[in-house]
Amino acid sequence: MMKELFKKDCLNLDPNIVVQKYLLDGSCYFFDLMENSEEFLFKKGIADSLNVHIRDIAVVGSGKLGFSIKPYKNVLEFYPFKKFDENKISDIDIAIVSSRLFDNQLMKMYKYTSQYTNHGNWNEKTDRKSFAYYMLKGWLKPDYIPKGYKISIEIQKVISDFKMKYGRDINIGIYKSWYFFEAYHINNIKNINLNLIANG
């Protein structure tokens, strides 16, 4: 079973190897359930809408593995490894890794928020501090972008079409480089390793 193999590797392999083996390589759980060409068409649609290479698109999260590797939101030390589509319809999370796109979006947001000074562009629960925190980690996280800001009309349409097709939400995050993408996930694998050791 994939989940048990993943746990075993988290305990025995270097976190870099775990990230490469399970998140950068390997099959995609969600698209393995469909026709062979569906993953290509999905990635191609997103890549074309943002004018990035198809290799810059990665499915992550439970859609990739078949189970979540996020900690429980109220107890960050606990990893329940929740199964994909357990209790509710799971989202499909997408990482887009492109320095050019990342920089372009920062410039657009800078103008949109009048040099980050317009407080009306920020949600109360997702303020500029949260935005800056993730930006410094090389990640434009959708939860913390300015209120009303749209990455592009093209990507909105593509996501809307896929959302209707699959009957589930599609979330995207933009990373500055593969370094930042891997660093984030390597840190998470280290935490999972400690959790597995502690809970035997």
Tokens linked to 177: 């480089």
Taking the model in full, what pTM does it have? 0.90
**Phi, psi angles (nearest 5°) of residue 103:** -65, -40
Per-residue pLDDT of the chain (200 residues; tens, 9 = 90+): 789 999 999 999 999 999 999 999 989 999 998 777 899 999 999 999 999 999 999 999 999 999 999 887 766 668 889 999 977 899 999 999 999 999 999 999 999 988 888 878 887 766 788 889 999 999 998 888 888 899 999 999 999 999 999 999 999 999 999 999 999 999 999 999 998 888 76
